[in-house]
């Protein structure tokens, strides 16, 4: 990769890592499902001007329901009821492991020995983190919601993999717009119209700034830049940069929020990162070149 593109990719991982801290700030102002709704309202507005991607409407709905509605609805709710942002930025990456498992069952993609090794290492790390539930800001309900968020992301990945190739930016805009109605209904039912109205009536600059960061930088700009990098370079060269997202996420949570990690949790985080790296990095290709 050219140096400017490497710097862009690294900068994007910083934006996505810091996103978890910004979500934590936003949840101080909005109920989680309303916050997710507002995010997709803003991100989906360009659908008024952008033609719908050439994909079956039912498949678009399925991608929206899993990749956006489930992932972010459960993620925001998890962080609200008990899951620290730094730990969330890394634990959510088990979606890569869930993707391998789902692809094996639904698409017939048989995992190799390296994939199985990565799965085993990551699950040991996940078990280590699960053993700390009830301490350090992680609640059992928060942990379950985080796993559902990762599973939703993985399900969306598998549906996308079997879908026709389309431009990423229109796809992101349209699945954002399609996520709004169900999230709004769930917010009104679960969080209540009174709570939503109170949050909207007390919007301040911090709330607007949190929403603007998540919509403009993390969603629209982030996915547009990521799609452009994938157009220029092989996925195997670009994808490993996502390993930097939990690094910048945990570091920003430590520096900004003072989030701390005990030894067992640090071990679990390290094992998850190693397991994902084993699945993502082209280790065998690098070894053959050496």
Domain boundaries, the chain: 3-280
- Per the model's pLDDT, the better-predicted residue between 78 and 9 turns out to be 78
- Look at residue 46 and tell me whether its pLDDT is greater than 60: yes
Output the pLDDT for position 195: 93
Using CA atoms, how far apart are residues 8 and 23, in angstroms rounded to an integer?
22
End-to-end CA distance of the chain: 19
What letter does residue 240 receive in the DSSP assignment?
A: G
Residue 284's φ and ψ, nearest 5 degrees, are: -65, -40
1-10, 125-134, 189-198, 222-231: segment of lowest average pLDDT: 222-231
Output the pLDDT for position 64: 93
Output the pLDDT for position 282: 61
Using CA atoms, how far apart are residues 277 and 240, in angstroms rounded to an integer?
8
Output the pLDDT for position 165: 80
260: how many CB neighbours lie within 10 A of its CB? 13
Residue 122, CA atoms < 13 Å, CB-side half-sphere: 26
- Look at residue 290 and tell me whether its pLDDT is greater than 60: no
What letter does residue 188 receive in the DSSP assignment?
A: I
- 96, 115 contact by CB (below 8 A): no
- Burial (0-12, 13-18, 19+ Cβ within 10 Å), 236: exposed
Output the pLDDT for position 249: 85
What's the pLDDT tens digit per position in 151-168?
998 898 888 888 888 887
Structure tokens at 107: 């698409």
Most confident of 57-66, 128-137, 237-246: 57-66
pTM for the whole structure: 0.86
Output the pLDDT for position 71: 92
């Amino acid at each position: 990769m050219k140096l400017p593109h490497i710097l862009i990719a690294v900068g994007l991982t910083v934006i996505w890592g810091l996103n978890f801290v910004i979500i934590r700030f936003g949840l101080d102002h909005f109920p989680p499902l309303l916050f997710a709704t507002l995010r997709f309202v803003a991100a989906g507005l360009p659908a008024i001007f952008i033609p719908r991607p050439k994909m079956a409407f039912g498949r678009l709905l399925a991608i929206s329901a899993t990749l956006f509605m489930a992932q972010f609805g459960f993620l925001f709710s998890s962080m609200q009821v008990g899951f620290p942002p730094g730990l969330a930025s890394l634990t959510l990456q088990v979606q890569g492991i869930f993707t391998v498992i789902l692809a094996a069952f639904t698409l017939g993609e048989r995992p190799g020995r390296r994939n199985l090794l990565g799965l085993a290492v990551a699950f040991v790390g996940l078990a280590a983190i699960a053993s700390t539930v009830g301490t350090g800001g992680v609640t059992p309900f928060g942990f379950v919601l985080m796993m559902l968020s990762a599973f939703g992301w993985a399900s969306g990945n598998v549906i996308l993999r079997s879908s026709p190739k389309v431009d990423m930016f229109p796809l992101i805009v349209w699945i954002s717009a399609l996520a709004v109605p169900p999230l709004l209904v769930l917010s009104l039912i679960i969080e209540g119209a009174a709570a939503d109205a109170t949050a909207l009536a007390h919007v301040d600059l911090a709330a607007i700034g949190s929403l603007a960061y998540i919509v403009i930088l993390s969603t629209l700009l982030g996915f547009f830049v990521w799609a452009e990098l994938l157009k220029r370079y092989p996925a195997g060269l670009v994808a490993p940069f996502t390993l930097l997202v939990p690094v910048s996420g945990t570091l920003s949570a430590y520096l900004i929020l003072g989030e701390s990690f005990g030894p067992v949790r640090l071990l679990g985080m390290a094992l998850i990162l190693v397991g994902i790296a084993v699945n993502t990095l082209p280790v065998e290709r690098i070894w053959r070149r050496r």
